[in-house]
Structure 1
Amino acid sequence: MVTLSSPIPFSAFPLDRAGARRRDQDFIFDLLRLRDTDLVLIQDGKPVLKVGGQPSAPRKLLRLAAASRAGFLQEHNDTLIFMGQNTHGRATFAASLPSSFDWDDGPLQGLGEIEDMRMAAGVMDVGDLAIAGTAKSILDWHSRHRFCANCGVPSQVAEAGWKRHCTNCDSEHFPRTDPVAIMLAVHGNRCLLGRGPGFRAGYVSALAGFIEPGETIEEGCARELHEEAGVTMTHARIVANQPWPFPSQLMIGLIASVKNLELTIDLHEISEAIWFTREEARALLSEGGCRRDGVTLRAPPPLAIAHHLIQHWIHEG
C-alpha cells in the first residue's frame, strides 16, 4: 500500500486503544477516578469542540474531567466508551448527549459548541478528529443495537463500551465496520468519475460500493465497476484506506485499470459517469474546477478519500 504524505481525515488515531484492558473493570474504574482522565462528548452525531483558541489554530475537542461527570452526564447518558490512553498513560473516554442538552444554559455554558462532523474535519486537529470519528461510530452503534439480535431482549453495555452482552441468552455483540471499495478507474491518461442520483450538484467522485460476503476487495471493486459503469477491470491496487464514521465504514481506496472506455451506466446507482484527462482531473481539484459542456465540475474536498485517490493518480503521471 502506498503511504500518502499526509493523514487522510479520520485516520491517524493517536491513542493506544488498550483493547486487552477493556474487560478489566477495576482498571476502567480506576481511570475514571483519576483527575486527569478526559471525557469528550458527541451530540446528535456531532463533536463538541472547545470554545476559544487562536483563530488560525486547529480546533480541539472539549475535554472535561471524567471524574466529575456525575454532575451533568449520568442523568442524560450512562454509556461511557473507553477510547484509550496517550503515551503518558492519560486516558480518554467518550459519551453522547441528547438533543435536549442546552449548551447555552447550565454548568457547561460557554465551554463548548457542537459542529457538523464533515465541517469539523476541515478545521480540527487530526488526532482529535480521529477520536471524534471513532467515538461517533461506537456511540451510533450502541444507539441502534440496544436489543439482542438473537433473542430480542435488551442487551447491556460491556467491556468499556466495546461490546454488548445479552444476560438472557448470553450472546455477545460487537461493533461492526462495513468495508467499502472506492475505486478510481483509469484507462491510459483518463480516469473515470461519476455522481450518484443524490449527489451534490457540480461534484463528481470515484465510484464506490460495499464489499459483499465472500468477496475479496479486488473482486468487489471489479463487480462494482462493471455493475455501475459497464467497464471491465484488468488490475487493481490498494492505495489508501479511511475510517468513515457515517455511520461506520472503512473506505478502501483503489486505483483500477480497465480495458474499455465505453460506458454502460446503471441509472439506479449513478446518474452519470465521465472520463477525465489528468489535466482535467487536476482542474477538478482546484478552486476553479473543471469546465465540461458549459458546467463547472469539482472533485470532493480533502475530507474524502476520493480526493486523495485522484491526487495520487495525477502525481503518478
Structure 2
Amino acid sequence: MTQSRRDPPLGFAFNPIVRHSSERGDDALARYAADPEAGAILLAGDVPILRREGEAARALHRNGDLADVRVRERVVLGELDGRPVIAIGAEAGEAEAIAAMPGRFANDLRATAVQGLVPQAEIGLLAQAKSLLSWHARHRFCANCGAPTALSASGYRRDCAACGSQHFPRTDPVVIMLIRFGDRILLGRQARFPTGNYSCLAGFVEPGETIEDAVRRETFEEAGVRVGAVSYALSQPWPYPSSLMIGCIGEALDDALTIDREELEDARWFSREEVAAMLADRHPDGLRVPPPVAIAHHLVRIYLEE
C-alpha cells in the first residue's frame, strides 16, 4: 500500500492531479481561466470556500459558477480526469460574502482535513492550491531589487521586469522523526498542544544539512538524545504555509533525556503498550497521539505494526 492511500488516510498526501509541469505557459492560465467548465479550488485568504452537494461537501467548483468572485490571483493546478483545474484566490476579507452565497460555506483547511469533509483527493488539491496562493500573496516584490513582480508560468513563477530575476515557489523541508530505543519510542509535547497530546519531534532542515543530520541535530537539541542510524519512512505536504514533512525513523544511542524547556513542555519514552493505548484513546492518563491527518500518527502506526 502506498503512502498516499494509507488507511486511515494521511492528510493532504493524495493528489491525483496531472500537473503538466513542462506545459506551464501563461496561455494555459488564460485558456483555463476562460473555460466555464474548468474545475476550480477557491480560497479567500487562507480559508477554503466549499460547496454543498446534498449532505456532502466538495472543494471542487465549476469555474463558471464563480463569476461573482473578485479574484486576487489565479494559478493552474493541472488536469483531473482530462478536465483543467485552476486555483482562485480572493482577499481574506471576502470570505464571509463569498460563503454567504447559496450552496457555499467557508471552513478552516485543517478542520476540513481532520473531519474528512471532502473527498481525500480534494484535500490534496486544497493543499496544492493553498501553498501556491500563499506563496504569491507573500512574494509580490523582488527579493533582489525590491520592485513589484508579476505572476508567470501559469502561477509557478514570478518575474521581475526591473532586474530580470525569476522567483519560484518554495517548499520548506521539515524532518519529523520517530526515535526508538529498544522497544520504546520518544515522544514530546509543546505547550501549545491540546492537553494530553504527545507527538514525534520535528524541525526544519537547515541549509547545507542532510535529512539524516537534521534528524540527529533536532533530536539532540530538543531532548538531548544522540541518534545513530536514520531511515526514511514517508512524507506529507503540509500547507502551513508550504512545508514538506519528511518522516524518518531514528535509532537512539542512549535513553538519557535533557529536555530543552523552551522547545518542549515535556518529552518521555513510551512503551509499545502505552503507545497502543494512546492510539486507541484509552491511555489511563488521557494521553493521545495526533489524529490521522498528521504524519506523526502514521509514524506511530508503523512502529506498532512492526
**What's the TM-score bracket when you normalise by the shorter of the two chains?**
over 0.9
Aligned-pair distance for 1:105?
7.3
User: Which residue in 2 is equivalent to 1:99?
Assistant: 92
Matches within 5 A, 1:275-286: 275-286=269-280
Pair 1:207 & 2:201 matched: yes
Matches within 5 A, 1:129-278: 129-278=123-272
Pair 1:47 & 2:48 matched: yes
Give distance in 2, aligned partners of 1:140 and 1:105.
19
Bigger Cα displacement from structure 2, 25-34 vs 147-156: 25-34
Matches within 5 A, 1:2-151: 3=3, 5-6=6-7, 7-23=9-25, 25-54=26-55, 59-66=57-64, 69=66, 71-73=67-69, 76-87=70-81, 89-101=82-94, 109-121=101-113, 122-123=115-116, 124-151=118-145
Give distance in 1, aligned partners of 2:265 and 2:93.
39
Give distance in 1, aligned partners of 2:129 and 2:178.
29
Structure 1 spans left out of the alignment, 5+ residues:
none
Aligned-pair distance for 1:77?
2.5
Aligned-pair distance for 1:79?
1.4
CA contact (8 A) 1:48 1:62 kept: no
Runs of 4+ with deviation above 4 angstroms: 1-4, 102-106
Give distance in 1, aligned partners of 2:168 and 2:125.
19
RMSD between aligned residues: 2.0
Aligned-pair distance for 1:82?
0.2
Aligned-pair distance for 1:110?
1.4
Bigger Cα displacement from structure 2, 78-87 vs 257-266: 78-87
Letter aligned with residue 255 of structure 1:
I
| 1:55-95 CA distance string (max 9 Å, x none) | 5xxx32140325x65x423xx324101000023x2101011
Helix, strand or coil for the counterpart of 2:261?
coil
User: Which residue in 1 is equivalent to 2:297?
Assistant: 307
CA contact (8 A) 1:62 1:112 kept: no
Taking structure 2 as the reference length, the TM-score comes to 0.92
Letter aligned with residue 22 of structure 1:
R
Give distance in 1, aligned partners of 2:141 and 2:29.
24
Q: How many matched pairs?
A: 302
Helix, strand or coil for the counterpart of 2:59?
coil
Q: Flag the 1:167–1:118 CA change in 2: closer, same or farther, 3 A.
A: same
Structure 2 spans left out of the alignment, 5+ residues:
none
Aligned-pair distance for 1:2?
7.6
Taking structure 1 as the reference length, the TM-score comes to 0.89
Q: Give % identity.
A: 38
| 1:233-288 CA distance string (max 9 Å, x none) | 11111111000001110000111110211101111111110111111101111133
Letter aligned with residue 247 of structure 2:
G
